[in-house]
Amino acid sequence: MRRREFVRWAGLSVPAILQGGLLSGMLRGQEARLPSELTADVIVIGGGLGGCAAALAALRAGNRVVLTEETDWLGGQLSAQAVPPDEHPWIESFGATRSYQALRQGIRDYYREHYPLTAEARAQAHLNPGGGSVSRLCHEPRVAVAVLYEMFASYLGSGQLLILLDHRPVAAEVEGDRVRSVTCRSLRDGGQITLAGPYFVDATEMGDLLPLTECEYVTGFESQSETGEPHAPSEAQPANMQACTWCFPMEYVAGEEFTIAKPEQYDFWKDFVPELDPPWPGKLFDFTYSHPATLKPRTLAFDPAKEASGWWLYRRIANKANFTEGSYPGSISLVNWPQNDYLLGNLFEVSDEEAARHREGARQLSLSLLYWLQTDAPRPDGGTGWPGLRLRPGLVDTSDGLAKYPYIRESRRIRALETVVEQHLSTDYRMEETGLSREEVTAVDYRDSVGIGSYRIDLHPSTGGDNYIDLSSLPFQIPLGALIPRRLTNLLAGNKNLGVTHITNGCYRLHPVEWNIGEAAGAVAAYALRVGETPAAIRENGSRLSQFQRQLRSDGVETAWPRARPR
């Protein structure tokens, strides 16, 4: 099927590039004209950062792509989950793909073009609109969506790309060791569409294609006997996963009254004490928490009126000082704190009813935290509560002011040709193994590297009762083998569902790494189509692998680190 036939068959018009007010779905009102089946060269299921990067890589190589997304926003953890990017300290100079850097630059350019920045802020080469301490680029979630559509603009215009928003995968057809098709259901009208093609990328937030395709996978905490990891338990704990968090942006306007109605579960969460090992220092709703590295009690200040440090500055996404006088009544901070990490259960590998109960519990936890901050939280002056705190629904395009989707830290993970384990990148382990100093030691060097990343092994408290696991890690590579299942030949991991463990997921789950994972998955699918070999065969063929890696590097994907110190 030629590209223009692809568009005529779909019967869809191409949307305008998103500007200030974002469309809540590019295909709204168009579902009746969708056919029951579509084919493309690469089918990408999941429109988060990995999915968008996979689609862009396949499109760049000239392939036709269908990209689906469960919500009505592209961007995953950067937008629908509302989390500012967690990145390494060298991000402005190196350590991310060219296309990820284009996304970052696009966000800054979008602010310069559409926002009333002060002259001083506009002149900053490395503009940080929120000035939050967690990232060099704290920004409003909706801006990322607009920039992603700008990156897709020419492919939408030519008909090379079709995006299906509000579509969730519900079934798959598998023949032998090949996926033949994936069926998605519209969350708007219940209609179904079957997507067929030679390659599929699972870029969903929870590895949804893995059970549907009967791909072998693992969940939770693997045993030490399986992985050899020093910090793994003696027995596997498949239901022990990192907490999810339902994030929300809040603004502070002094002297105003914005207190929400008391949430239904407030009394429960106000007195909730996490049952963790080692113990949490007290109630969850407190400004004291467990220091991730030492696990000793640590208190951070909270005072939205001063904005100087602490919880408010941590993920501030709009600093009113960066905008002309009167543009913002107050600064805005994104709440993704230990205090709204949901510990009481998981959102997958459970019944639909239990998953729905935990989703609502996570929502109630976040609303209860806001209500506590507005009413009962202790103030430095001896009073309680800041009623001038308010939700900002327009920034996340929801009616309740919470993000569209919970922040998912841990997914189902494929049993891959290569599994990254703690021993491959732990600073302490590698120093002991090699006898090298902290300044000399490096992570394992993969012959099939398709990208790089760097972050501490950062595991939040878990649903199985673990407190933080926070370990120093070395700048690492992404092996191609971690993207390829052991059995299925045409399914690729494009998100945090790659071949990592519960422990190493803690440093492979962040924004630039997820993007690089997806970009490598889309690129190897495109290369496999061009040379007529499977990704597994490409990995085993030295000359093919080298050629593919050269192609990646020419496209701006770094496959090896310059010298960089461990995190």
Predicted confidence at residue 35, as pLDDT, reads 86
pLDDT in tens, the chain (567 residues): 333 334 333 333 333 333 222 333 333 434 446 789 999 999 999 999 999 999 999 999 999 999 999 999 999 999 999 999 999 999 999 999 999 999 999 999 999 999 999 999 999 999 999 999 999 999 999 999 999 999 999 999 999 999 999 999 999 999 999 999 999 999 999 999 999 999 999 999 999 999 999 999 999 999 999 999 999 999 999 999 999 999 999 999 999 999 999 999 999 999 999 999 999 999 999 999 999 999 999 999 999 988 777 999 999 999 999 999 999 999 999 999 999 999 999 999 999 999 999 999 999 999 999 999 999 999 999 999 999 999 999 999 999 999 999 999 999 999 999 999 999 999 999 999 999 999 999 999 999 999 999 999 999 999 999 999 999 999 999 999 999 999 999 999 999 999 999 999 999 999 999 999 999 999 999 999 999 999 999 999 999 999 999 999 999 999 999 876 667
Q: Is 311 exposed, middle or buried (0-12, 13-18, 19+ CB in 10 A)?
A: buried
Q: Is the CB of residue 252 less than 8 Å from the CB of residue 330? A: yes
Predicted confidence at residue 27, as pLDDT, reads 39
Residue ranges, CATH 3.50.50.60, the chain = 1-228+413-421+481-556
Quote the CA–CA distance of 160 and 149 in Å, as a whole number: 14
Quote the CA–CA distance of 232 and 503 in Å, as a whole number: 8
- CA 68 vs CA 27, 311, 492: distances in Å: 11, 35, 15
- CA 38 vs CA 34, 68, 193, 492, 516: distances in Å: 9, 12, 7, 20, 27
Predicted confidence at residue 34, as pLDDT, reads 75
Quote the CA–CA distance of 447 and 178 in Å, as a whole number: 26
Rounded to the nearest 5 percent, the helix, strand and coil shares of the chain are 30, 20, 50
Predicted confidence at residue 308, as pLDDT, reads 73
Strand 248-252 with 389-391, pairing: antiparallel
Q: Is the CB of residue 509 less than 8 Å from the CB of residue 47? A: no
According to DSSP, residue 75 is labeled -
Task: Establish how many alpha carbons lie within 13 A of residue 383's alpha carbon, considering only the half-sphere containing its beta carbon.
Answer: 8
Residue closest to 132 by CA, chosen among 97, 92, 87: 87
For 121-156, letters b (16+ CB in 10 Å) and e give beeeeebbbbbbebbbbbbbbbbbbbbbbbbbbebb
Residue closest to 385 by CA, chosen among 370, 402, 401: 370
Predicted confidence at residue 564, as pLDDT, reads 67
3-state secondary structure of 117: strand
Strand 332-335 with 178-186, pairing: unpaired
Residue closest to 217 by CA, chosen among 468, 502, 12, 452: 502
3-state secondary structure of 99: helix
CATH number of 1-228+413-421+481-556: 3.50.50.60
Max Cα distance, the chain (Å)? 70
According to DSSP, residue 304 is labeled T
Task: Establish how many alpha carbons lie within 13 A of residue 536's alpha carbon, considering only the half-sphere containing its beta carbon.
Answer: 14
452 forms bridges with which residues in the sheet? 477
Q: Three-state SS across 20-37?
A: CCCCCCCCCCCHHHCCCE
Residue closest to 91 by CA, chosen among 452, 494, 549, 478: 452
Q: Is the CB of residue 345 less than 8 Å from the CB of residue 358? A: yes
For 59-97, letters b (16+ CB in 10 Å) and e give bebebbbbbbbbbbbbbbbbbbbbbbbbbbeebeeebbb
For 457-478, letters b (16+ CB in 10 Å) and e give bbbbbbbbebbbbbbbbbbbbb
According to DSSP, residue 172 is labeled E
Q: Is 192 exposed, middle or buried (0-12, 13-18, 19+ CB in 10 A)?
A: middle
Nearest-5° Cα angle at 393, 510 to 206: 35
Predicted confidence at residue 306, as pLDDT, reads 87
Residue closest to 455 by CA, chosen among 483, 429, 479, 425: 425
